[in-house]
Chains A and B, each alone.
Chain A
Amino acid sequence: MSFQGQFTNPETPGYVGFANLPNQVHRKSVKKGFEFTLMVVGESGLGKSTLINSLFLTDLYPERIIPGAAEKIERTVQIEASTVEIEERGVKLRLTVVDTPGYGDAINSQDCFSTIIAYIDDQFERYLHDESGLNRRHIVDNRVHCCFYFISPLGHGLKPLDVQFMKAIHNKVNVVPVIAKADTLTLRERERLKRRILDEIDEHGIKIYHLPDAESDEDEDFKEQTRILKASIPFAVVGSNQQIEAKGKKVRGRLYPWGVVEVENPEHNDFLKLRTMLITHMQDLQEVTQDLHYENFRSERLKRGGRKGSDPEEMDKDMILQEKEAELRRMQEMIAKMQAQMQKQGEGDGDGQHM
Chain B
Amino acid sequence: NDFYKLGVLRINFMTRTLPASKCSHARMNRVGTRLLHLTGFLLGNPLDLPRYHCKPPAEHTTQGPDTQVQMAEREAEPEQQPCSIESHPQVHVTGGEPHPQGHITGSELFGYVGIEAVLDQMRRKAMKTGFEFNIMVVGQSGLGKSTLVNTLFKSKVSRKSCTPNYEEKIPKTVQLQSVSHVIEEKGVKMKLTVIDTPGFGDQINNNNCWEPIVKYINEQYEKYLVEELNVSRKRRIPDTRVHCCVYFLPPTGHWLRPIDVEFMKRLGKIVSIVPVIAKADTLTMEERLEFKETIRHNLQANGIQVYPQREYDEDAEDRIRNDKIRENIPFAVVGTDKEHQVNGNKVLGRKTKWGIIEVENVAHCEFANLRDLLIRSHLQDLKDVTHDIHYETYRVRRLNEGNGGGPVNGSLEKSDGESQL
User: Which residues does A use to contact B, with CB under 8 Å?
Assistant: 43-46, 66-70, 72-73, 105-110, 152-157, 159-161, 164, 181, 183-184, 186-187, 254-262, 267-268
Give the CA-CA distance A262 to B204 in the complex, in Å: 34
Residues of A within 8 A of B302 (CB): 69-70
Residue contacts A-B, CB under 8 angstroms, 30 given: A45-B250, A46-B252, A66-B255, A67-B255, A68-B301, A69-B256, A69-B261, A69-B301, A69-B302, A72-B255, A72-B256, A110-B204, A110-B205, A152-B142, A152-B250, A154-B142, A154-B144, A154-B250, A154-B251, A154-B278, A156-B168, A160-B170, A160-B203, A183-B282, A183-B354, A184-B279, A184-B281, A256-B285, A258-B358, A267-B353
Give the CA-CA distance A45 to B203 in the complex, in Å: 19
Q: Are B284 and A254 in contact (CB under 8 A)?
A: yes
Give a binary string over B247-272; 1 marks a CB under 8 Å from any A CB, 0 the rest. 00011111111110110000000000
Q: Are A45 and B204 in contact (CB under 8 A)?
A: no
Q: Is B101 engaged at the interface, CB distance under 8 Å to the other chain? A: no
Q: Are B205 and A154 in contact (CB under 8 A)?
A: no
Q: Is B328 engaged at the interface, CB distance under 8 Å to the other chain? A: no
Residue among B141, B278, B281 making CB contact with A156, cutoff 8 Å = B141
Q: Are B363 and A186 in contact (CB under 8 A)?
A: no
Instruction: Known A256-B281, A267-B353; judge A156-B206 contact (CB<8 A).
Output: no
- A108 closest partner in B (C-beta): B205
Q: Are B143 and A187 in contact (CB under 8 A)?
A: no
Most central of A106, A181, A184, A261 by chain B CB within 10 Å: A184
User: Which residues does B use to contact A, with CB under 8 Å?
Assistant: 140-144, 168, 170, 202-207, 250-259, 261-262, 278-279, 281-282, 284-285, 294, 297-298, 301-302, 350-358, 363-364
Give the CA-CA distance A153 to B354 in the complex, in Å: 18
Residues of B within 8 A of A69 (CB): 255-256, 261, 297-298, 301-302
Q: Are A107 and B284 in contact (CB under 8 A)?
A: no
Give the CA-CA distance A260 to B202 in the complex, in Å: 32
- A106 closest partner in B (C-beta): B258
Residues of A within 8 A of B279 (CB): 154, 184
User: Assuming A108-B207, A110-B205, A183-B281, what are 5 further A-B pairs, CB within 8 angstroms?
Assistant: A44-B252, A45-B251, A154-B140, A160-B202, A267-B353
Residue among A105, A184, A187 making CB contact with B257, cutoff 8 Å = A105
Residue among A66, A156, A181, A262 making CB contact with B282, cutoff 8 Å = A181
Most central of A44, A45, A73, A181 by chain B CB within 10 Å: A45
Residues of A within 8 A of B278 (CB): 154
Residues of B within 8 A of A43 (CB): 252
Residues of A within 8 A of B142 (CB): 152, 154-156
CB B222 to nearest CB in A, in angstroms, measures 28
Instruction: Known A44-B252, A73-B258; judge A186-B170 contact (CB<8 A).
Output: no
Q: Are B206 and A260 in contact (CB under 8 A)?
A: no
Q: Are B261 and A184 in contact (CB under 8 A)?
A: no
Q: Are B254 and A259 in contact (CB under 8 A)?
A: no
Give the CA-CA distance A181 to B287 in the complex, in Å: 13
Q: Are A256 and B258 in contact (CB under 8 A)?
A: no
Residues of B within 8 A of A67 (CB): 255
Give the CA-CA distance A73 to B259 in the complex, in Å: 9
Q: Are A259 and B352 in contact (CB under 8 A)?
A: yes
Q: Are B141 and A155 in contact (CB under 8 A)?
A: yes
Residues of B within 8 A of A181 (CB): 282
Residues of A within 8 A of B254 (CB): 44-45, 66
CB A31 to nearest CB in B, in angstroms, measures 42
CB B260 to nearest CB in A, in angstroms, measures 10
Residues of A within 8 A of B284 (CB): 254-256
Give the CA-CA distance A187 to B354 in the complex, in Å: 11
Give the CA-CA distance A168 to B412 in the complex, in Å: 57
Most central of B204, B259, B302, B363 by chain A CB within 10 Å: B204
Q: Are A186 and B351 in contact (CB under 8 A)?
A: yes
The 3 closest A-B pairs by CB, nearest first: A45-B252, A259-B355, A259-B354
